[in-house]
Amino acid sequence: MTKKQLTGAGFAALILIAMNFIPESEALSSAGIKTICMLIAFLIMLITAPLKFFHTGLIFLALMPVFGVAPSFSGALTGFANPVILFVIASFGITAAFTTLPLAKRILVALLRISGKNIKMIMLAIMSCTCIVSGIILSVPTCAVFMAIALNFLELYDDPEEKKRTGRTLMIAIPVATMIGAIMTPIASAISLLALSKLEEFTGTTISFVQWMAVGIPIAIVTLPVAWWIILKVHKPAEVNKEMVERFVTNLGIPEKFTKPEINVVIITSIMMALWIASSWVKGINIMIVALLGACAYCIPQLKTLKFETFADNIGWDSIFLAVPVLSLGDLMVSNGVSDWIVSILPILNVSTPLLIAFVSILFFGLLIIIPIAPSLIIIMSPPLIALAVGAGTSPAVVMFAAAICGCCCFLLPLDTVPLLTYGKGYYSIKDMFVSSLPIQIFIVVVLSFWLTIMGRVFGL
C-alpha cells in the first residue's frame, strides 16, 4: 500500500472504532450516528482505495450488522433487492453490444468528417458523440469507451507538452459530456431511476419517460456547447491539421459497410427506445424490464450480436459491489432516522418554485462534495427534499427532478466514479477539474431553475 492508502485505511478503522463511543441524543439515535460514521468510513476507503471496490463493498456489508447499523445480515443486503441493480447489470449488456461493435466509432467519425477542421471542432464532435451515447447507456461504460478513443487520438501528437495539454482538455471534457448526456433520459443513469422510484415510493407520483426527456434533452442541448466553450477557454488544447484527423479516422479501422450484427443492435435498441417512450402512456411497460429484456435479446445466438460470455465478462462487478452497500447504507439512513434528523435541521422555505429549485440544486451540488456518491445521497435526501417541497407549497416531483439532474452532473471534483476514470490517467489535477466545472454547474443551476419551472407547469407536476 502507498502512504495515502495506509492513511485512508487507518482513518476508516479509527472512525469505525470511535463511533461506538459517541453518545446518542434526542435528535439522533446511536444507530443513526453509527450509520453516518460508517458512510464516512466507506467514502474514505473508496477515495483512498487501499482495497478494490469489490473487497471494500463486501467488508462493509459484513460490518453493518456487526456494529448494529443493520438489524441483521439480511438487513444489510437490501441493496441487492433494489431493481436498480438488475438495471445496472442489463446496462452493461447494452454497453457491451455497442462497444464490441464499431457503432460508437461510426457516430464519432461522422461527426469528425462534418466538423473535424480544427481542434475546437474535434473537441465539440467528441463531446457531442459522448453526450449522445450517454443518453442511451450508463455513464461509466460510456466514459470508458470515449476515454479509450481519446487516448488513441492523443497518440497523433509528437510533442509531449502538446499531448499533455490536449490530454488535460479531453480527459476533463469527456466525463463532463458523459454526465450531461446522462440527464437526457431516465434510463441513462441509475441515479435517475433511483430518484423516480423514491418519488413514487414516498408520494405515489410518477414522472414519465417523455416528461423526463422534455426536461432533460433541452437542458443537455443548451449546456453541452456552454461546457465545451468554458473548457476550451480554461484549458487550451494544441492544434491539429486535417492530415492528423484523417490518420486518426483510418486507424480506427471501421468497416465501410454496416455489418449484420450492427444492424441487429440498431433494430433491438430502436424497439427498446420505442417501448421506453410508450411507457409514458402504457402503464404496464416498465423501463427497467425493457432494458433487461433488451440486453437478453442482444444475446440471442441466431442474431450474432453479443455472446453471453462477452456480456458476462463486461459486467463491472466492482461497480455492482460499490452500488449495493451504497444502496443499503442509504436505506439504513432512512430507517435509522438520519433522514428525519436532516428534515429537522433544514429551514422551512416559503419561496417561489424557481428559487426553491435553485436552492435544492446548490444544496445537492454542495453535498456531493462531501458525499460524492449520488445514489446514496438520493436515498438519504429524498424524505428531506420532499418535506422541503411540501413546506414551500411546491410539487415534490419538481424537487426530486432537480436533485436527480444534479446527481447526474457530479463533476465538480473527480471523486465520482465517472471522472475518476479519466483522473487516473494523470492528465489533470483536482484544481484543473474544479476551475472548469464550477462555471458549468452554476449554469446548470440557472437553466434548471428556469426550464424545470416551466415544464413542471406544462405537465402539472
Domain boundaries of the chain, sorted by first residue: 84-313
Q: In this structure, what C-alpha cell is assigned to residue 380? A: 438519504
Confidence (pLDDT) at 128: 92
Is 327 in contact with 82 (CB distance < 8 Å)? yes
How far, CA to CA in Å, does 164 sit from each of 97, 125, 171, 250?
A: 32, 20, 10, 23
Kindly state the average pLDDT of the residues 428-450.
92
For the cut 80, the answer to whether the pLDDT of residue 248 exceeds it is no
Residues contacting residue 293 through CB under 8 Å, at least 6 positions apart: none
Quick: pLDDT tens for 172-227.
999 999 999 999 998 888 788 889 888 988 888 888 889 999 999 999 999 999 99
The DSSP output letter for 282 is -
pTM of the model as a whole: 0.80
CA nearest neighbour of 405 among 342, 371, 360: 360
For the cut 80, the answer to whether the pLDDT of residue 348 exceeds it is no
Is 36 in contact with 338 (CB distance < 8 Å)? yes
Q: In this structure, what C-alpha cell is assigned to residue 30? A: 446511536
Terminal-residue alpha carbon distance, the chain: 51
Confidence (pLDDT) at 310: 84
Quick: pLDDT tens for 400-421.
999 999 999 988 888 777 887 7
* Rounded CA separation 349/79 (Å): 33
Confidence (pLDDT) at 284: 79
Confidence (pLDDT) at 116: 66
Kindly state the average pLDDT of the residues 51-59.
86
pLDDT band at 13 (very low <50, low <70, confident <90, very high): very high
Kindly state the average pLDDT of the residues 5-17.
92
Which H/E stretch holds residue 152? helix 139-154
Is 191 in contact with 374 (CB distance < 8 Å)? yes
Is 9 in contact with 48 (CB distance < 8 Å)? yes
The DSSP output letter for 23 is P
For the cut 90, the answer to whether the pLDDT of residue 52 exceeds it is no
- Alpha-helix residue ranges (DSSP H) falling in 308-416: 308-313, 317-335, 338-345, 353-370, 374-391, 396-408
Which H/E stretch holds residue 50? none
Q: In this structure, what C-alpha cell is assigned to residue 38? A: 460508517
Confidence (pLDDT) at 113: 76
Confidence (pLDDT) at 245: 77
CB pairs under 8 A, 24+ apart, for 238-241?
238/119, 238/157, 238/159, 238/162, 238/163, 238/165, 238/166, 239/118, 239/119, 240/118, 240/119, 240/122, 240/156, 240/157
* Rounded CA separation 188/138 (Å): 5
Kindly state the average pLDDT of the residues 77-82.
82
* Rounded CA separation 299/304 (Å): 7
Is 414 in contact with 178 (CB distance < 8 Å)? no
Q: In this structure, what C-alpha cell is assigned to residue 374? A: 449520488
* Rounded CA separation 361/381 (Å): 12
**Mean pLDDT, the chain, as a whole number?**
86
Confidence (pLDDT) at 424: 75
Is 126 in contact with 173 (CB distance < 8 Å)? yes
Confidence (pLDDT) at 223: 96
For the cut 90, the answer to whether the pLDDT of residue 294 exceeds it is no
Residues contacting residue 37 through CB under 8 Å, at least 6 positions apart: 15, 16, 18, 19, 22
pLDDT band at 367 (very low <50, low <70, confident <90, very high): confident
Q: In this structure, what C-alpha cell is assigned to residue 174? A: 469527456
- Alpha-helix residue ranges (DSSP H) falling in 49-102: 53-66, 73-76, 78-81, 83-99
For the cut 90, the answer to whether the pLDDT of residue 65 exceeds it is yes
